Structure 1
């Protein structure tokens, strides 16, 4: 189990049902905190919970910006997310929040036993994940990042951000053992983000591997002049990528 067993409950109001779930979790040794559907409130309390339980209702589509913030929170801070509500409400949420961010979904009326089991399972999974190496993917292609995360999630702790600014913010409060960085990105490209990371004393020591769709010799040489630890083509498959990463960390371990 992880040492902190903190759960954030978000809903339009703290209903009798939400209060009942909080009570059951407290009986099992968890700490719970209710947060209303307000970005500012969730932002303020985000670090107080490792797992988010969203008790949905008919207001689920009233504030699209809130769902975008919830998506970013789950992706960037790797929060677990359990959804409770009707199929229609669930469909609204997963249009914005990637499915691989959703740990479990329950329809109402809630099966309390299965819900509590899902919470236990999520915290067990987080405890295992904490022992793994952490990889941060920086890419503006969210679908591609989700694919890579799906490939690696059984062996590594994987976080995702879609811009250099978000990467810097994420690394300010989190630790990464390796960065997979897209070489071609709009606004701030891969080399620029690489230079940003290397110019900072805290992030400068983090190893970086470039990911790119460019296969020309010129583009490879240009990228390697920046001295990343490796340069990977986006045509790489799951087995090849995992072998590359496993091999890299094995070599680093041998140097200790």
Structure 2
């Protein structure tokens, strides 16, 4: 999920935009203050910086000097009037401005354009689809060591998302659907079978291939796994070569 640093003076307008963006992106909020922006950029590398110019002062131009000189590789999108824009950066081509007041669709289209994503509007709802150069694989397992191990195996070749439960996986998938799911069959509470049923019950996710991860190898158990018609199954702990082969076969990579 793309990361956005949202800078502004905290008011209702800023809160509305934050609520809009955080449904589709990972949003970090920051006060419109030179030191605050400079400090947060030392520890956070966003894909986009969005700045609300509401209430901006001429002294805040220092923020844009810093962004222009030290963080030119990060795109910047501002939301403000021509007067507010003129106070802090004028015609600087590094920054793009959305005239205020701005409606939600205008904001979403501008943000998606900046982070190389597509905006789909269906029944009045927004959906953001990242234009990925690599396949995205979601690993769902309640064991943190398993998640870390599989991520280390695959991250050189694929983008990786992780979830520690079926419900968390479905929530994440709603924001950024993966190309393939590696799903632990023996998770507590909501196991792999139940999670797969929920995935297939959603028309948006039903065609995503699912490979089960299972630690039990007896015939009866394997037959129960295969009866669900997954794209494949891998015994845990997974062997990299076998896992890579199963993934390539499932997504024809």
Q: TM-score, normalised by structure 1?
A: 0.53
Q: Note if contact 2:6-2:30 (Cα within 8 Å) is conserved in structure 1.
A: no
1:18 alignment partner, one of 28, 33, 36: 36
Residues 173 and 6 of structure 1: CA distance in aligned 2, closer, same or farther (over 3 Å): closer
Alignment equivalent of 2:5, drawn from 4, 7, 11: 7
Q: Distance in 2 between matches of 1:190 and 1:14?
A: 45
- Structure 2 distance, partners of 1:235, 1:244, is 14
- How many residues align? The count is 159
Residue 139 of structure 2 contacts residue 163 of structure 2 at CA under 8 Å; is this kept in 1? Answer: yes
Q: Is the 8 A contact 1:135 1:177 kept in 2?
A: yes
Q: Which has the higher strand share?
A: 2
Q: Which one of the candidate residues 193, 199, 202 is aligned to 2:201?
A: 199
Q: Which has the larger radius of gyration?
A: 2
User: 1:70-109 to 2 correspondence within 5 Å?
Assistant: none
C-alpha distance in structure 2 between counterparts of 1:188 and 1:156, whole Å: 26
2:225 is paired with a residue of what secondary structure? helix
Q: Residue 209 of structure 1 aligns with which residue?
A: 211
Residues 137 and 178, structure 2, Cα contact 8 Å, conserved in 1? yes
Measured in 2, the distance between the counterparts of 1:8 and 1:147 equals 33
Deviation at 1:11, TM superposition (A): 8.3
Which residue number in structure 2 is paired with residue 222 of structure 1?
224
Give unmatched runs, 5+ long, in structure 2.
8-27, 42-62, 79-107, 116-129
1:30 equivalent to 2:75? Answer yes
Equivalent position of 1:140 in the other structure? 142
Aligned residue number for residue 178 of structure 2: 176
Give me the whole-angstrom Cα distance separating, in 1, the residues matched to 2:154 and 2:6.
Answer: 27
- Measure, in 2, the Cα distance between the counterparts of 1:204 and 1:11: 35
